[in-house]
């Protein structure tokens, strides 16, 4: 994933992670090892790749509108674990971006939702 685009401009103009920034200047992140990202999302395959993207967003003052997460990351689990490990990383840092779960794994979903319910503030709009 390339992060070499120039710095974002005011008003959402500019490019980040190979995509034009939306007017609000915030990106949506899709973490999934198999499913393609819907239009308007930046796709990551692993937890480590997602963490690198989050850190780059923070470094460049690009907002994160949503983290949309699968749980089971298949072959990419060796690169940071399954997606619940991303939640652990965010909790440790006290960075509570809005989370949406799209995982088909009911146990993984329940575990991730429990972490969100326990740690994310109600105003984060996580679901």
* pLDDT at 122 (0 to 100): 86
Cα 26 from Cα 3, distance rounded (Å): 15
Alpha-carbon gap, residue 13 to 39, rounded angstroms: 18
Position 11 scores a pLDDT of: 40
Confidence (pLDDT) at 74? 85
Question: Candidates 3.40.720, 3.40.50, 1.10.260, 1.10.20; correct CATH number of 10-124?
Answer: 3.40.50
In the prediction, which pLDDT does 21 show? 79
Strand ranges across the sheet with 41-44? 41-44, 26-31, 63-69, 99-101
Quote the pLDDT of residue 66.
Answer: 96
Residue 107's pLDDT is: 96
Nearest to 116 by CA among 103, 105, 127, 104: 127
Low-confidence ranges of the chain (pLDDT < 70): 1-14, 125-126
């Amino acid at each position: 994933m390339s992060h070499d685009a120039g710095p974002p401009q005011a008003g959402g103009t500019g490019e980040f992670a190979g995509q034009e920034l939306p007017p609000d200047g915030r990106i949506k992140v899709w973490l999934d090892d198999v499913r393609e990202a819907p239009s308007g999302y930046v796709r990551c395959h692993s937890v480590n790749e997602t963490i690198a993207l989050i850190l780059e967003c923070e470094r460049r003052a690009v907002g994160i509108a949503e983290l949309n997460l699968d749980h089971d990351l298949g072959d990419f689990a060796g690169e940071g674990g399954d997606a619940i490990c991303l939640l652990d990383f965010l909790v440790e840092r006290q960075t509570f971006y809005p989370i949406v779960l799209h995982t088909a794994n009911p146990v993984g979903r329940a575990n991730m939702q429990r972490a969100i319910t326990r740690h994310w503030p109600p105003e984060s709009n996580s679901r």
